[in-house]
Amino acid sequence: MNAILQAAAPIAPATPAKWTVAEVEALYQMPFMDLMFRAQQVHREHFDASEIQRSTLLSVKTGGCSEDCGYCSQAARYDTGTGREPLMPLAEVVAAARVAMDKGASRFCMGAAWREPKDKDLEKVTEMIRAVKDLGMQTCVTLGMLKDGQAEQLKEAGLDYYNHNLDTDAEFYGEVITTHKHADRIDTLGQVREAGIKVCSGGIVGMGESRRNRAALIVQLANLNPPPESVPINNLVPVPGTPMAGVAPIDHFEFVRTIAAARIAMPASFVRLSAGRQAMPEEVQALCFLAGANSIFYGDRLLTTGNPEADSDEALFEKLGLRPI
């Protein structure tokens, strides 16, 4: 397997662009069958097309976030019915990880609704990382932006992946979030790379952005050096009480095109079919796998939103002849 999946390397400060927005837009404009064929070719050059990586996501600290992300149920300023909860006790996190592992998840992701973690909270999170690693699972956390030295602490605890999505491209970003900048997210990804942690970073589509915005997001991810090892592609789940509660859903075929474009632009990355999967018919999910998605979140919750039940996923995998890794 390509070495990019084996070790994290620092993001080079001056990397020539590998992809342009026009080139990725051209992928979107291909006839659908041609695009799917090309995505399958690229996918099979780097992966077994019948294998799917499964991760489970647990909210270890829910609600009360000071940020104004327009899609998020956990933003304190929006009335979404999501209460503010403290950091979960270590024993409860470990118990949840055991359940996830028993159900077939190979990676356990822990999310906390913070702008950035305080040092005292980070100490507790590193205990969680060590405990989950002791179970034999890969570990991932999403804690918001990081301060100097925090990525190194996470690496020392044995963290495998840090998730920090770009959400959308730099041009559309201000329509989604105003309490921090797109560049702040890039800075956090750089700190993660410098610490030697693998990067999990993707985005959300269906927030009212244009196809050009979607293409630009893929370009920004693909032109990181190296690209993220894991790329979650989320379909907006409109949450009542948030500014994006009434956004019209994206067309299913446009979503599949986004998966295919991400696969072609980032051939060695795991492309994860993430939030919004609960509302997708099985046939649409199958098209996403055909387009090159080879990772899912596994379990009935994604932080505060729903996800297909494990039994449903097992049934779909059996129909499609897919194997977990």
Which residue of the set 38, 65, 257, 277 is catalytic? Answer: 65
Tell me, what amino acid is at 142? T
Which residue of the set 69, 107, 185, 214 is catalytic? Answer: 69
Which residue of the set 38, 54, 72, 107 is catalytic? Answer: 72
Residue with tokens 């327009």: 70
| C-alpha 146 chain-centroid distance | 17
Which residue of the set 54, 193, 200, 277 is catalytic? Answer: 200
- Other CB atoms within a 10 A radius of the CB of residue 109 amount to 27
Which residue of the set 38, 107, 109, 288 is catalytic? Answer: 109
- Specify whether 140 is catalytic: yes
Spatial distance between the Cα atoms of 207 and 214, rounded to a whole number of angstroms: 10
Which residue of the set 38, 54, 107, 140 is catalytic? Answer: 140
- Specify whether 288 is catalytic: no
Which residue of the set 193, 272, 277, 288 is catalytic? Answer: 272
The catalytic site residues sit at: 65, 69, 72, 109, 140, 200, 272
